[in-house]
């Protein structure tokens, strides 16, 4: 098989498409193209492409105006159709482990397995209460219908979808590549879902995902600028505060729960969210939670002229590099 010269890492969300084209030369990663395009309401909803024609038009415009050339794409997704669950399984041979995980996955996933694509990673090792060795497993499940729609629409545009990956895990890989050694909680917030994942090095010790409840839906959409507005209508500041309070309350309860259940404490919180209010959220989290709170700095993973943009495109960069390493 010919080695891929460059690949496009693409992050799809309700309100935008972000993409980065990366090549690897002499052991170094090089950014060839980078850009994003906003999406009109109704193109992607609840993780699904609802308007294929407008989606394909937007994707084509981004590829053209952004100077992208590769036809190989890796997609990063993070919405309510991607589920991650933490589980423990006996420490057995890897081939037997895979069969066991797939057979028992339904015990941990609240949606029929025949509707899902299932994958997993070994997130660490431990012993159970009987002192028997076990693997800590991160189960990753995504709705097959959603994945197939992405593949089909991009294939129709003559792109090859090399893989579909979790944005959340891509962020974690980027944080690790930046040299962070602390036990941290990554808080990743979208208009669909609020994710928490506790990580140190290669070990994942907790994952929690919260679909945005109906009572907070309007406030969260306001935070991302997705509510319908009359011409000239301003921002609903009360809704913004309510959305921030929702994030603070759920983050605080997650940190407290982890502290009660584990001997080792979380040392730092990293926050990722494509919202113009991220600085306000950081400030509120820092004032309400007695931990260091920051946006992860991932620019050390790759050499680029505008290094600050690495954070905005972290998920794209993470999945593109994974695709190149294959």
- The pTM for the full model equals 0.82
pLDDT digits (tens, 9 = 90+) for 40-68: 889 998 889 999 999 999 999 999 999 99
DSSP reduced 3-state for 220 = helix
What's the token pair of residue 29? 């990663």
Q: Are residues 116 and 204 in the same domain?
A: no
Q: Is residue 291 part of a domain?
A: yes
2 Cα distance to chain centroid: 29
**Which residue bears the tokens 């579909």?**
164
Q: Are residues 272 and 208 in the same domain?
A: yes
User: Domain containing 105 — which CATH number?
Assistant: 3.30.1490.300
- How crowded is the C-beta side of 319, counted as CA atoms within 13 Å? 27
Q: Are residues 289 and 185 in the same domain?
A: yes
What's the token pair of residue 132? 């028997």
Q: Is residue 71 part of a domain?
A: no
CA distance 223 to 240: 5
Determine which helix (DSSP H) or strand (DSSP E) holds 165, and give its type and residue range: strand 160-166
Q: Are residues 290 and 194 in the same domain?
A: yes
323 in Cβ contact with 74 (< 8 Å) = yes
87 in Cβ contact with 108 (< 8 Å) = yes
CA distance 65 to 43: 20
pLDDT digits (tens, 9 = 90+) for 105-152: 999 998 899 999 999 988 888 888 888 899 999 899 999 999 999 999
Instruction: Provide the 8-state DSSP code for 2.
Output: P
Look over the chain and give the mean of its residue pLDDT values, rounded to a whole number.
Answer: 88
Per-residue pLDDT, 277: 92
State the residue range of the domain holding 212: 181-295
């Amino acid at each position: 098989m010919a080695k891929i010269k460059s690949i496009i890492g693409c992050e799809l969300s309700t309100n935008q498409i972000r993409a980065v084209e990366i090549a690897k030369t002499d052991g170094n990663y090089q950014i060839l193209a980078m850009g994003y395009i906003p999406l009109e309401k109704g193109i992607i909803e609840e993780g699904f492409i609802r308007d294929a024609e407008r989606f394909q038009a937007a994707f084509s415009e981004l590829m053209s105006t952004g100077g992208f050339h590769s036809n190989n794409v890796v997609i990063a997704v993070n919405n309510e159709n991607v589920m991650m669950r933490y589980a423990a399984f006996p420490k057995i041979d890897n081939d037997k482990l895979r069969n066991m995980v797939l057979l028992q996955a339904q015990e941990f996933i609240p949606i029929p397995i025949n509707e899902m694509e299932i994958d997993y990673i070994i997130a660490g090792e431990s012993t159970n209460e009987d002192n028997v060795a076990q693997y800590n497993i991160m189960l990753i499940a995504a709705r097959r219908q959603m994945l197939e729609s992405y593949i089909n629409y991009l294939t129709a545009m003559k792109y090859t979808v090399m893989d579909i990956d979790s944005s959340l895990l891509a962020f974690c890989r980027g944080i690790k590549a930046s040299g962070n050694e602390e036990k941290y909680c990554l808080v990743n917030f979208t208009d669909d879902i609020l994710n928490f994942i506790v990580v140190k090095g290669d070990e994942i010790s907790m994952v929690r995902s919260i679909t945005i409840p109906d009572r907070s839906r309007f406030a969260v959409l306001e935070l991302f600028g997705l509510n319908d507005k009359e011409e000239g209508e301003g921002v609903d500041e009360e809704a913004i505060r309510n959305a921030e309070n929702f994030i603070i309350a759920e983050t605080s309860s997650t940190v407290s729960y982890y502290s009660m259940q584990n001997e080792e404490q979380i040392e730092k919180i990293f926050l990722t969210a494509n919202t113009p209010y991220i600085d306000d959220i950081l400030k509120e989290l820092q004032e309400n939670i007695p931990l260091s709170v920051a946006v992860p700095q991932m620019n050390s993973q790759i050499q680029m002229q505008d290094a600050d943009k690495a954070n905005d495109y972290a998920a794209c960069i993470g999945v593109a590099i994974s695709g190149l390493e294959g």
